[in-house]
């Protein structure tokens, strides 16, 4: 039987059996509306409150600081747009600081704000994909309303110094939001240590179902309502609560916390993939930091080939991977993250993201290491640019990025 290796966990994950189990009662037994006063409703309310409390415990915050949403994109939109609106109303500030490598949920929210008259500064990153702190310090001023910097990048897995950035934001009286969608399940999220005002999480990245997310909003921050309705979520996001998925998210976050102990094993598999693939395949380069990256992320650029062709051949070999973020993979534009770390436009298409998880085995890693090099070779053998490079032709524009980044 042919092998299947799922190495696209940063795009989404399978719902784990324990999570599915935790959700089941809420479909047919705990079906009451948590707002109803009868027993079925009260039972549902107890389950809802319990889930909120357990999630808050994993994040180190208070249950009333957790607001359930439908996904990471919704949480990001709410934080950026309502955070900006709040500060404009309170202090007249209309300046946002974010980075060039944010997810489009944040970038496009910022673009929408620009159309409304806000100004946005997009801070650059180092060639390793870490926020350029000098640039950030210079960008944040006493006119800044909101600083929005992601905790972990979805393409190259780099971990940003959020606590330090939050301190800078607060020194200038600005709000601090971090998109922690790719951090949850991969690293410990400790809200008091981060010192952020808002933080987003999405369930489907950590083995809960698609369609559930949350936004942490610091107590006392009067964030404008997202959905006006029947008073759910402390009146800020109306709509009958999605109890099955909320129970699933709570279970997934608890399991994720326990699984952090297994991170060194995953990091070892990640490092083996990086070392073996970059040594076996010529003209291959690690994208992002070698050290400041989550344990499951491998992102390698292979010159002289298109990432999309690589994906198709890997798919045939039974390996599911990605060229960038799943949401952007239908686009022909090069990844904004690749461009931000300095990969030239013409080379930015040749990157592959392998996102492994606690479910990945050493045998899966062996299989990727066995399958990938011949596929790269096959694609290069069909590439006129590769042929030109072999002949020592004019490939000057192919060699401007240093070997290990
Ligand atoms: N933020 C980051 C960093 C992500 O990686 C994603 C999804 O890829 C999102 C936000 C959006 O989350 P969702 O798919 O739950 O809307």
**pLDDT score, position 386:** 85
Known catalytic residues are 327
pTM, full prediction: 0.95
Ligand 1 atom nearest the C-alpha of 154 is 5
Three-state secondary-structure class, residue 327: helix
In sequence order, what DSSP letters do the residues of 110-139 get, joined into one string? HHHHHHTT-EEEEE-B-TTS-B-HHHHHHH
Give the residue ranges of DSSP H helices in 92-242: 104-115, 133-139, 162-171, 191-194
> How many Cα neighbours within 13 Å face the side chain of 65?
22
Q: Tens of pLDDT along 343-364?
A: 988 788 899 999 999 999 999 9
Query: Does 103 sit in the ligand 1 pocket, CB within 6 Å?
Result: yes
**pLDDT score, position 404:** 32
Ligand 1 atom nearest the C-alpha of 74 is 16
Phi, psi of 231 (to 5 degrees): 90, 5
Residues of the chain with pLDDT under 50: 325-329, 396-405
Query: Does 371 sit in the ligand 1 pocket, CB within 6 Å?
Result: no
**pLDDT score, position 400:** 38
The CA distances from residue 281 to 51, 303, 368, 377, 400, in Å, are 47, 10, 13, 8, 18
**pLDDT score, position 345:** 82
**pLDDT score, position 83:** 98
**pLDDT score, position 323:** 87
Ligand 1 atom nearest the C-alpha of 326 is 8
Please say whether the beta carbons of 319 and 7 come within 8 A. Answer: yes
Q: Output the CA 187–ligand 1 centroid distance in Å.
A: 16
**pLDDT score, position 66:** 98
Residues with Cβ < 8 Å from 44, sequence gap 6 or more?
Answer: 26, 30, 31, 32, 33, 34, 36, 243
Residues 367, 124: Cα–Cα separation, whole Å:
36
- Ligand 1, pocket-test mutation among 12, 107, 181, 206, most atoms within 8 A of CB: 181
**pLDDT score, position 391:** 80
Dihedral of CA atoms 228, 105, 206, 64 in degrees, nearest 10, equals: -30
């Amino acid at each position: 039987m042919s092998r299947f290796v799922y190495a696209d966990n940063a795009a989404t994950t399978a719902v784990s059996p324990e999570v599915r189990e935790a959700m089941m009662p809420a479909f047919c037994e705990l079906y009451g509306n948590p707002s109803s006063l009868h027993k079925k409703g009260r039972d549902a309310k107890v389950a809802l409150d319990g889930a909120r409390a357990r999630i808050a415990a994993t994040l180190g915050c208070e249950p009333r600081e957790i607001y359930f949403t439908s996904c990471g994109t919704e949480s990001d939109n709410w934080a950026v747009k309502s955070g900006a609106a709040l500060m404009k109303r309170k202090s007249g500030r209309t300046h946002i600081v974010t980075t060039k490598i944010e997810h489009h949920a944040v970038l496009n929210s910022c673009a929408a704000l620009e159309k409304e008259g806000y100004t946005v500064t997009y801070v650059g990153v180092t060639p390793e994909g870490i926020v350029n702190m000098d640039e950030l310090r210079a960008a944040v001023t006493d006119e800044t309303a909101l600083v929005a910097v992601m905790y972990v990048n979805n393409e190259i897995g780099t971990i940003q110094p959020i606590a330090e950035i939050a301190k800078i934001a607060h020194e200038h009286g600005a709000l601090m939001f971090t998109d922690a969608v790719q951090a949850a399940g991969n690293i410990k999220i400790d809200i008091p240590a981060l010192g952020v005002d808002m933080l987003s999480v999405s369930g489907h990245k950590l083995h809960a179902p698609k369609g559930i997310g949350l936004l942490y909003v610091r107590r006392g921050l009067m964030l404008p309502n997202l959905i006006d309705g029947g008073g759910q979520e402390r009146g800020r996001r109306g709509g009958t609560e999605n109890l099955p998925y909320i129970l699933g998210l709570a279970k997934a976050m608890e399991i994720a916390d326990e699984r952090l102990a297994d991170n060194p094993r995953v990091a070892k598999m990640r490092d083996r993939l990086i070392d073996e693939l970059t040594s076996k395949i010529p003209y291959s380069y690690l994208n992002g930091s070698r050290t400041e990256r989550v344990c499951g992320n491998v992102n390698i650029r292979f010159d002289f080939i298109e990432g999309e062709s690589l994906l198709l051949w890997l798919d045939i070999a039974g390996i599911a991977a990605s060229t960038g973020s799943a949401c952007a993979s239908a686009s022909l534009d090069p990844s904004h993250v690749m461009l931000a770390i300095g990969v030239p436009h013409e080379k930015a298409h040749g990157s592959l993201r392998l996102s492994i998880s606690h479910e990945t085995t050493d045998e899966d890693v062996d299989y990727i290491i066995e399958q990938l090099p011949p596929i790269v070779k096959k694609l290069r053998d069909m590439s006129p640019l590769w042929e030109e490079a072999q002949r020592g032709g004019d490939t000057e524009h192919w060699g401007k990025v240093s070997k290990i980044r």
